[in-house]
Amino acid sequence: MESKKKIVILGGGYGGVHAAKHLYKHFKKNKDIEITLIDRNPYHTLMTELHEIAGSRTEPEAVQISFKKIFSSRSVNVVIDDIDAIDFENQILKSAHKEYPYDFLLLGTGGSPEFFGTEGVQANSYTLWSLEDAIRIRENVELRFRDAAKEPNPEIRKKFLTFVIAGAGFTGIELAGELLDRAEVLCPKYHIDRNDVRIMIVEAKDSVLPILPHDLRKKAENYLRKRGAEVLLNAPITKAEEDKVFLASGSIIETSTFIWTCGIQGGEFTARIGLTKGRASNDKCSIASPEGIHGMAGCHFDEDERYVVGERGRILVTEYMQSVDHRNVYLAGDMIWFLHEEKIVPQIVETAIQSATCAAKNIVADIEKKPRVSFNPKYHGFMVSIGAKYGVAHGMGLSLSGFMAIAAKHAINLHYLFEVAGFNACWAYVQEEFTNVKDRRTITRGHASAKIPAYWSLPARLWLGLMWAIEGVNKIGEGWFNFTGGSKSGWMFSSGVKQASLEATAPTTAVDAASAASEYGEAAAAATPTPTPEAVYDAASAASDAGYANAGDVATSAVSTVTDNQPWSFNLDAPIMPTDFFLVTWFRQLFMDGIMSYIPYQLFQMAIVGTEIAIGLALMGGLMTFGAAAASIGMCLVFTLSGMFTWSQLWFVFMAIVLLGGSGHVLGLDHWVMPWLKKFWNSTKIAQKLYLYDGEPRLGKKNRK
Ligand SMILES: Cc1cc2nc3c(=O)[nH]c(=O)nc-3n(C[C@H](O)[C@H](O)[C@H](O)COP(=O)(O)OP(=O)(O)OC[C@H]3O[C@@H](n4cnc5c(N)ncnc54)[C@H](O)[C@@H]3O)c2cc1C
């Protein structure tokens, strides 16, 4: 028996995850293909949001999406291991403890910071290229404020409060924005004057964010300066020592926090594996490769571009994202060296995703012996946040700044997260970025993150529950279960519509309704020369009790006639939507006269009464409160669309909204039931397939590794 073909993806970054998802989709029915993704971490890191962790805007969990989540119920083996070496001849990946054979290998191990050989920089700086890096910066910043608060020596204190960021690319600028926001929080916390804090951006070129058009660069620079950052342009760094940064101009900056964000090279791992690197040198277009020159037609080099030369460079790939050394090895993301339109492709997410998709397609093509596809990247633009509330963005011919740029960045992030782990990842993002964020550091300026303790909603829950229960019980008292009197729910249907099992034909005029009401002796008010709205309603409801289907219509028009005669009073007992309102007509004709009229009226009435009592009991007992509150809102909506829900009853809806936020966990059964339900739901296939689980999925024994 032929053994399975093994596709191994090394690196679960932007490239690796997309490749794995693409391959899974293609081969999910093919039992002869085994897909394995290996990463040193159990989670996919959202590298583009690391600055938020470094600046303490969001928590470290915000940038980790566990592979368990991404691949739950999908036949992709996830292995957590750190690969040390690759034996390309024997097709084996090796870690300290284990070996992993492959037939096809896709490498997406990313990049790492480039120091350009600048003396002392690597040893004396922080970098921002992993979650661990971000946490180190985060902790150091807080520590420096704490140290400064108790430091009597002004020189040392100044050093503690000076933060130097080298590089004004998107990583450096995004980090500076976060530190500016962070200073606003830490200064009052440690009783430090904001003017004592220096946040410096030191850049060798003459502008910030060279990837953006000139006007946006200027806007970004102006905003940074306005917020109190010092932006030093044309200021190459020549050397670093402990607590000292040396500039080419001869000046020395003393700082305890020096963060280097100046460039990316192929990762440390790429330096170790023996694949041909891309190479740009003074000798234009010279690339060493066993197969000659790749992607270099008519090439020239922009002096401003930072190319990586030598052993730690990026790995040369063909237009198929294939290594030039081994036919069954493909590469993607920050580690590739490929020229597109005479420029080396940028180390950004779009390159990672598109190159990985191309590589995955070509692995499929090799296995199925079909033609390969070439890499043809399409870039849509850049979005840079400068703190939580401002940003600049350029793409698809549009330049945005401020709120719109940040909003666009959030939208793009949500789109990416939806692709990776569906609704679950999007909801986690919304919580991290909007509803749980601290210190108002969000685009909504904290309006979405203010919280009310759940125990304050307890009286509202009990009261709303009681009201629903009473409403239901009252209906029983009014004879809703006594079917000999005909339909009680006729007000929801058009006059003349025959509900299933209803024999009586309904009268059609107000006169009929009113006379029916008076028959029951409850329409005295309606008969008076100046009837009140309440009296007319009483009459109409009596008519309704008597089985007249158009009693609601009668009530509404009568009430508006009465109210029209009282120009300065707003009648809270008038319906929110009158029966002749187009939405009410639409609802009645489509749902009530259509689908609902086929349901025997007895069943329909029992369902209304039963639902009201069930909502009431659930709310009072705090059982499935979210569902009961949502049903409460749903019922009110149905009554509104039936033309019978009045302004004075609207509090039902607002109270139910308050209860949606977990009210049942306070002195309610949800405290015990919900964790159990969550566990059960998270273990279901449907929740896992559609990414609808809450928190982390619960994998069966088979999938637990
Ligand atoms: C602060 C910051 C902000 C950024 N902002 C943007 C932005 O706004 N827009 C944009 O497009 N790009 C941005 N980038 C760049 C972007 O993050 C990278 O281009 C992207 O992450 C590259 O994806 P990748 O799949 O090649 O590698 P990565 O995402 O780096 O993933 C590599 C994976 O390989 C794993 N790995 C590496 N070596 C091994 C090994 N030996 N064994 C096992 N596992 C291994 C790692 O754990 C990691 O999960 C930003 C980067 C940073 C740091």
- Residue-wise pLDDT tens digits, 610-632: 999 999 999 999 999 999 999 99
Identity of residue 541: S
Interval 48-53 mean pLDDT: 97
Query: pLDDT band for position 559 (50/70/90)?
Result: low
For residue 130, report the distance from its CA to the centre of ligand 1, in Å.
8
For residue 17, report the distance from its CA to the centre of ligand 1, in Å.
11
Centre a 10 Å sphere on the Cβ of residue 403 and count the other Cβ atoms it contains. 12
Does residue 387 have its Cβ closer than 6 Å to ligand 1?
A: no
pLDDT at 303: 40
pLDDT tens readout for residues 627-658? 999 999 999 999 999 998 999 999 999 999 99
> What does the DSSP 8-state code read for residue 232?
E
Span of 79-83, 303-307, 584-588 with lowest mean pLDDT: 303-307
CA distance between the termini of the chain? 27
- Sign of the Cα pseudo-torsion (40, 42, 47, 53, in order): negative
For residue 45, report the distance from its CA to the centre of ligand 1, in Å.
7
Query: pLDDT band for position 344 (50/70/90)?
Result: confident
Distance CA 691, CA 50 (A): 24
Does residue 266 have its Cβ closer than 6 Å to ligand 1?
A: no
Structure tokens at 675: 């964790």
For residue 665, report the distance from its CA to the centre of ligand 1, in Å.
40
Length of the chain (residues): 705
Interval 558-583 mean pLDDT: 75
- Residue of the CA atom closest to atom 7 of ligand 1: 48
Cβ pair 461, 663 in contact under 8 A: yes
Angle at the Cα of 575 (from 574 to 578), degrees rounded to 5?
115
Task: Give the C-alpha distances (Å, rounded to integers) separating 110 from 107, 313, 347, 463.
Answer: 9, 12, 9, 57
Half-sphere exposure in the Cβ direction for 369 (13 Å, CA): 0
- Count the helix, strand and coil residues of the chain and give each as a percent rounded to the nearest 5: 45, 15, 40
Structure tokens at 216: 């946006």
Structure tokens at 308: 């990586």
Interval 30-44 mean pLDDT: 96
The closest alpha carbon to 574, from 478, 654, 640, 530, belongs to 640
pLDDT at 322: 94
User: For all residues of the chain together, what is the average pLDDT?
Assistant: 86
pLDDT at 550: 53
pLDDT at 498: 78
Q: What percent of the chain has pLDDT over 70?
A: 85
pLDDT at 668: 96
Query: pLDDT band for position 510 (50/70/90)?
Result: very low
Residue 190 pLDDT > 50, yes or no? yes
Atom of ligand 1 nearest to the CA of 47: 17
Q: Which helix (H) or strand (E) is 585 found in, with range? A: helix 582-587
pLDDT at 529: 46
Judged by DSSP in three states, 605 sits in: helix
pLDDT at 594: 87
Query: pLDDT band for position 555 (50/70/90)?
Result: low
pTM: 0.83
Distance CA 413, CA 417 (A): 6
pLDDT at 276: 82
Distance CA 489, CA 469 (A): 18
Comparing 478 with 277, the larger pLDDT belongs to 478
Structure tokens at 10: 């090394």
Interval 371-390 mean pLDDT: 94
Residue 173 pLDDT > 60, yes or no? yes
Distance CA 242, CA 120 (A): 8
For residue 135, report the distance from its CA to the centre of ligand 1, in Å.
16
Contacts of residue 90, Cβ cutoff 8 Å, sequence gap at least 6: 101
Interval 588-611 mean pLDDT: 91
257-260 and 126-127 strand pairing: parallel
Query: pLDDT band for position 168 (50/70/90)?
Result: very high
- Residue of the CA atom closest to atom 18 of ligand 1: 348
Distance CA 171, CA 471 (A): 59
Query: pLDDT band for position 536 (50/70/90)?
Result: low
33-39 and 43-45 strand pairing: unpaired
Does residue 229 have its Cβ closer than 6 Å to ligand 1?
A: no
For residue 637, report the distance from its CA to the centre of ligand 1, in Å.
47
Contacts of residue 56, Cβ cutoff 8 Å, sequence gap at least 6: 138, 141, 142, 178, 182, 185
Residue 519 pLDDT > 50, yes or no? no
Atom of ligand 1 nearest to the CA of 15: 25
Does residue 15 have its Cβ closer than 6 Å to ligand 1?
A: yes
Distance CA 404, CA 423 (A): 23
Does residue 352 have its Cβ closer than 6 Å to ligand 1?
A: yes
pLDDT tens readout for residues 93-112? 999 999 999 999 999 999 98
Cβ pair 183, 194 in contact under 8 A: yes
Comparing 439 with 522, the larger pLDDT belongs to 439
Identity of residue 307: Y
Interval 42-48 mean pLDDT: 97
Comparing 50 with 281, the larger pLDDT belongs to 50
Span of 133-137, 339-343, 383-387, 530-534 with lowest mean pLDDT: 530-534
Region for 285 from its dihedrals, namely left if φ exceeds 0, alpha if ψ lies in -120 to 50, beta otherwise: left
pLDDT at 538: 57
pLDDT at 508: 42
162-166 and 198-202 strand pairing: parallel
pLDDT tens readout for residues 453-509? 999 999 999 999 999 999 999 999 999 998 887 788 887 888 778 778 776 544 444
Judged by DSSP in three states, 198 sits in: strand
Interval 222-235 mean pLDDT: 97
pLDDT at 556: 53
The closest alpha carbon to 9, from 271, 332, 370, 317, belongs to 332
Does residue 348 have its Cβ closer than 6 Å to ligand 1?
A: yes
Interval 138-164 mean pLDDT: 98
Interval 287-300 mean pLDDT: 40
Distance CA 498, CA 111 (A): 72
Residue 306 pLDDT > 70, yes or no? no
pLDDT at 450: 87
Distance CA 445, CA 465 (A): 34
Residue 552 pLDDT > 70, yes or no? no
Residue 158 pLDDT > 90, yes or no? yes
Interval 52-79 mean pLDDT: 94
Give me the DSSP letters along 118-178.
-BTHHHH-EE-SSHHHHHHHHHHHHHHHHHHHT---HHHHHHHTEEEEE--SHHHHHHHHH
Question: According to the per-residue pLDDT averaged within each range, which of 228-242, 338-352, 477-491 is highest?
Answer: 228-242
Does residue 172 have its Cβ closer than 6 Å to ligand 1?
A: no
Interval 595-605 mean pLDDT: 89
Q: What percent of the chain has pLDDT over 90?
A: 66
Identity of residue 111: G
Interval 568-574 mean pLDDT: 82
Contacts of residue 628, Cβ cutoff 8 Å, sequence gap at least 6: 465, 614, 615, 618, 619, 659
* Ligand 1 pocket test, candidate residues 93, 98, 348, 357, most atoms within 8 A of CB: 348
pLDDT at 260: 97
